[in-house]
Amino acid sequence: MSAPTKHRSAEEIGRTALGPRPFPELGEQRAAADMETVDTTLANGLRVIAVRRSSVPMVEVRLRIPFGDPASSSVGSTHSARAEVLANTILTGTATRSRVDVDTELALVGGELDAVVDPERLAFSGNALMSGFDTVLDVLRDVLTGATYPAGEVERERARLVERIRLARSQPNVIAREALQRHLYGDHPFAKEMPEADEVAAVSQEDVRALHSTAVLPRGSVIVVVGDMEPDAAVRAVEGALGGWTGEGTAVTLSPLPVVQGGDVVLVHRPGAVQSQIRLAGRGLVRTDERYPAMQLANLVYGGFFSSRLVENIREDKGYTYSARSHSEFTPGGATLLVDADTASEVTAAALLETRYELGRMGLVPPSESEVDTARRYAIGSLLTATSSQGGLASFLMNLAGLGLDIEWFTGHPRRLAAVTVEQVAAVALEFFAPTAFTGVLVGDADLLAPQLRALGGVTLP
């Protein structure tokens, strides 16, 4: 490399006359300001959580409508396809606003509003300059109570959805996620995150309108507002805009999932892949379980952050992966532990071996005092940084609300984490991180992977 004429060697660079220096102690931590907050339910059944955060003159709005498939199986159900078309067209027309009107009005107040759907919920996410709060609420009111689903918009979005689904299904992580969900949950509607193209093509304007009238319901839904305003005033504004949103019954929550059982990993063939997706899953714990804080720390120690056993082993020691992680996913009525790693084909079997080895080690060589303390301080600190912005706080509170939890859970969580003992973490690690408790899928080029995976065992080959 065209180096300068003279430079120090790496050894010379790595030392100074003074030598290593002591690492500073932590300073005094200032507490976060108490949050002014209101959590209430309107007469129409809509729960409203409003929090004041004045860091910037903005407001963040999140609305969550439970949107489960009332059928117990996705086989023969058109719910997923109708829900997807609904989410993609609900903001495209009302009696008084066209699609462009909606975008223009929001843009002029520095605002945005989006709708997305998954097997559990229909979610609106928006923001605007504080001065545009009423505009965002009025657009929300208009679409919730009077979306018209113009025929032309339904037709175009349907065609576009088919293309977008095709694009999504070419992504390795999407291929892996769909295979994993099917493997874990079979025909349960939770597993169907994306409809098939032919199902989408069959959705009519009338189907979408019918779904709106039966499923877009205030009762069971929750709206979170975080911004530079008095929480009481925010609630009054929400009530003024959405108090007239009514409907028969309660928004539909999904039925509980079958519990994840340990078993073989299923190899899914992706011809020509140069990298594989390893996706393992085991049973987790819900946030309200008294062992959850210990589970959270055990997960961090295993693969939940960079300073974890899994990342230090398969990335920083062996260079098998750029990204490896484990995390809890909260599901209807339960929770799942997920382990993800993407590795080159040549080292996939070796990475799977190490991933399982670290699972086994969690129970047999349980987390040490110092591992637990590192995880604990990270858990408490990252909760603080992740919720220090309006948008971060709004999204976090929305997720909690979806699990039936409130702001008290959030403010009380650092205390619960502080109380966890090393023994409690060890107990959770032995029970939940046992390799035998996990199953999963592996997506990659089977022609390259099969000989080593066959030798390793515990993998079902195609």
Partner 1 sequence: MALPELHRFTLPNGLRVVLAPDRSAPVVGVSVHYDVGFRSEPEGRTGFAHLFEHLMFQGSESLEKLAHFRHVQSSGGTFNGSTHPDYTDYYQVLPSAALERALFLEADRMRAPKITEENLRNQIDVVKEEIRLNVLNRPYGGFPWILLPPVLFQTFPNAHNGYGDFTDLENATVDDCAAFFDTYYAPGNAVLTVAGDFDPEGAKALVEKHFGDVPARPVPVRPSFAEAAPKGEIRAEHTDKHAPMPAIALGYRIPDPVTEVDAYLSYLVLAGVLTDGDGSRLQQRLVHQDAIVVDVGAGCGLFGPLEARDPDTFSITAIHPPEITSEQVIAAVDEELLRLAEEGPSEQELAKVTARWVSTMHREHDRLTSRTLGLGSAELLFGQAELLYELPAKLAAVTTDEVAAAAKALRPDARAVLLLKPAQSVEENETAQTADGGTE
Q: Min. distance of Cβ 9 from partner 1 in angstroms?
A: 6
Binder to partner 1 among 244, 249, 258, 319 (CB under 8 A)? 319
- DSSP 8-class letter at 399: H
Site for partner 1 in 264-283 (CB under 8 A): 268-275
Among 41, 75, 116, 166, binds partner 1 (CB under 8 A): 166
> Which one of 72, 104, 214, 288 is in contact with partner 1 (CB under 8 A)?
104
Rounded least distance, CB 214 to partner 1, Å: 27
Which residues ranging from 375 to 394 are in contact with partner 1 (CB under 8 A)? 377-378, 380-382, 384-385, 388-392
Q: 308 phi and psi, to 5 degrees? A: -110, 165
Identify the burial level of 24 via C-beta atoms within 10 angstroms of its C-beta, where 0-12 means exposed, 13-18 middle and 19 or more buried. exposed
Q: Which of 151, 230, 250, 306 binds partner 1 (CB under 8 A)?
A: 306
* Comparison of 261 and 382: residue with beta carbon closer to partner 1: 382
Considering the complex, what minimum distance in angstroms separates the CB of residue 4 from partner 1?
A: 5
Q: Residue 19, by phi and psi: left (phi above 0), alpha (psi -120 to 50) or beta?
A: left
Cβ proximity to partner 1, 365 vs 403, nearer residue: 365
Distances from the Cα of 285 to the Cα of 183, 186, 291, 326, 378, angstroms:
20, 21, 8, 14, 20
Pair 289, 295: CB distance under 8 Å: yes
Site map (CB under 8 A) of partner 1, residues 30-49, x = contact: xxxx----------------
The binder of partner 1 chosen from 193, 207, 312, 406 (CB under 8 A): 312
Signed CA dihedral, 99, 100, 101, 106: sign only = positive
Count Cβ atoms within 10 A of the Cβ of residue 189 and give its class: 0-12 exposed, 13-18 middle, 19 or more buried: buried
Query: What is the bridge-based pairing of β-strands 222-227 and 47-52?
Result: parallel
Q: How far is the CB of 123 from partner 1 (least distance, A)?
A: 18
Rounded Cα distance, 364 and 245, in Å: 55
Q: Candidates 138-146, 171-179, 286-294, 423-431: pick the segment binding partner 1 (CB under 8 A).
A: 171-179
Contact 157, 91 (CB under 8 A): no
Compute the least distance from the CB of residue 243 to partner 1, in Å.
27
Q: Is 26 near partner 1 (CB under 8 A)?
A: yes
From 305, 396, 433, 438, residue interacting with partner 1 (rule: CB under 8 A): 305
- Any contact of residue 454 with partner 1 (CB under 8 A)? no
Could you give the CA distance from residue 462 to residue 342 in angstroms, rounded to a whole number?
20
Site string for partner 1, 110-149 (x = CB under 8 A): xxx--------------xxx--------------------
Q: Which residue's CB is nearer to partner 1, number 23 or number 455?
A: 23
The two beta strands, 121-129 and 112-117, are: antiparallel
Nearer to partner 1, 209 or 270 (CB): 270
Would you state the structure tokens that stand for residue 363, as one six-digit string? 């129970």
